[in-house]
Amino acid sequence: MDKKEGATMKNKVVPTIKLYDYLLVPIQIELDDNTVERLQMQILHEIHEKEVRGIIIDVSMVDVIDSYISFVLSETAGMAKAMGCYVVICGIQPQVALTLSQMGIKLKDIITAQSLEDAINILDKLE
Amino acid sequence: MNPQDYDIVLKIKDESDIAVSRQMAKNFAQKMDFSLADVTKIATAVSELARNIYRYAKEGYIYIRKKEGGSEKAPAIEILACDRGPGIENVELAISGGYTTSERSLGLGLAGIRRLMDSFHIESEVGKGTVVIVEKRRRVF
Ligand SMILES: Nc1ncnc2c1ncn2[C@@H]1O[C@H](COP(=O)(O)OP(=O)(O)OP(=O)(O)O)[C@@H](O)[C@H]1O
Ligand SMILES: [Mg+2]
């Protein structure tokens, strides 16, 4: 690991895993506003640094997604798209999906998948 | 309104208070035996209310209590959010959905809360502040 990468690792909000050309982002912490904003920065940096062609955000551990978190996730996906990278969200809990749909919130620019395997299949087809 | 009538009082002042209030609401709703779907809806509604306080009024309070439903009826959860912030000029517009005065927002907080809960009341006066009261009844087992 070189020095530059070491420095960015320290600012990481969520540890990520590189999988083929994809970056797996498993969210296992509470998404407060500050965290979700830092996560956005981290993802954009990692796309740039690691030449990632697809991002998979695993939200199976996230039990509340409200309108601002939704907005930031969509915004991140839009930015990633501009960088030539698709964002897939997988593992959204059924009650979270129900709440979002009842609120009329749509995850713009985001592809949704049921599982990690599903997400990889979708990304493979998009290439 | 008497704060002593409530089971939980949350002061919203810092950004981190949003996530804390969300968790507190979730735990309380779980203890009241709400279904998982309703626990999520309640926690999400509280998250929206707390963020509005933090964003627009800088600080305020969220009160939560259990309301007994009487002999035959199931209990309900009541959430009251209040602040002495700038108030809302056009309440109808603010709760209609898609309206926002924030730059990075969907403007779906209040409209969303209204759809998630069984009852929704809002009172706001420019220069005075805003009060939102919502309720959700537990289903009868
Ligand atoms: N407590 C409050 N004090 C003053 N103005 C408020 C308050 N709550 C909401 N508003 C006003 O009502 C508008 C709509 O609120 P709402 O929560 O529906 O959406 P938002 O906060 O703009 O975006 P989102 O909640 O989707 O992130 C806000 O943009 C703001 O102008
Ligand atoms: Mg809001």
Q: What is the 3-state secondary structure (H, E, C) of B70-110?
A: CCCCCCEEEEEEEECCCCCCCHHHHHHCCCCCCCCCCCCHH
Given this model, what pLDDT does residue A9 score? 52
Ligand 1 pocket member B102 (CB < 6 A): yes
**CATH code where residue A46 lies:** 3.30.750.24
CB contact at 8 A, A44 and A84:
no
Whether residue A70 lies inside any domain: the answer is yes
Strand B60-67 versus strand B119-125 pairing type = unpaired
- The domain made up of B3-137 has a fold known as Heat Shock Protein 90 (3.30.565)
* A7, part of any domain: no
Rg (CA), chain B: 15
Contacts of A33 in chain B (CB under 8 A): 15, 18-19, 51
Looking at the structure of chain A, the number of domains it has is 1
Domain of residue A50, residue span: 13-87
Pair B132, B49: CB distance under 8 Å: yes
- Domain chopping of chain B, boundaries: 3-137
Does residue A45 belong to any structural domain of this protein? yes
Q: Are the beta carbons of B116 and B41 closer than 8 angstroms?
A: yes
> Which of A72, A93, A104 is closest, CB to CB, to B112?
A104
pLDDT of residue A114: 95
Is the model's pLDDT at B126 over the cut of 80?
A: yes
Distance B120 CA to ligand 2 centre (A): 15
pLDDT at A127 over 70: yes
End-to-end Cα separation, chain A, in angstroms = 29
- Inter-chain residue contact B18 with A67, CB threshold 8 Å: no
What is the distance between the terminal CA atoms of chain B, rounded to a whole angstrom? 31
What's the mean pLDDT in B99-125?
97
Is A37 inside any structural domain? Answer: yes
Q: What is the pLDDT of residues B50-94, one digit of tens each?
A: 999 999 999 999 999 999 988 788 999 999 999 999 999 999 999
pLDDT at A10 over 70: no
Q: What is the pTM of this model?
A: 0.94
CA of A71 to the centre of ligand 2 (A): 11
Note the ipTM here.
0.94
Mean of pLDDT over chain B: 96
> From CA A119, how far away is CA A14, in angstroms rounded?
19
> Is A121 a member of any domain?
no
pLDDT in tens, A46-95: 999 998 999 999 999 999 999 999 999 999 999 999 999 999 999 999 99
| Contact check, Cβ <8 Å, A93/B40 | yes
Q: Is the CB of B48 under 6 A from ligand 1?
A: yes
Sequence-distant contacts of A2-11: CB under 8 A, at least 24 apart: A5/A49, A8/A45, A8/A49, A11/A38, A11/A42
CA atoms within 13 A on the CB side of A18: 9
Contact between chains at B105 and A71 (C-beta distance less than 8 A): yes
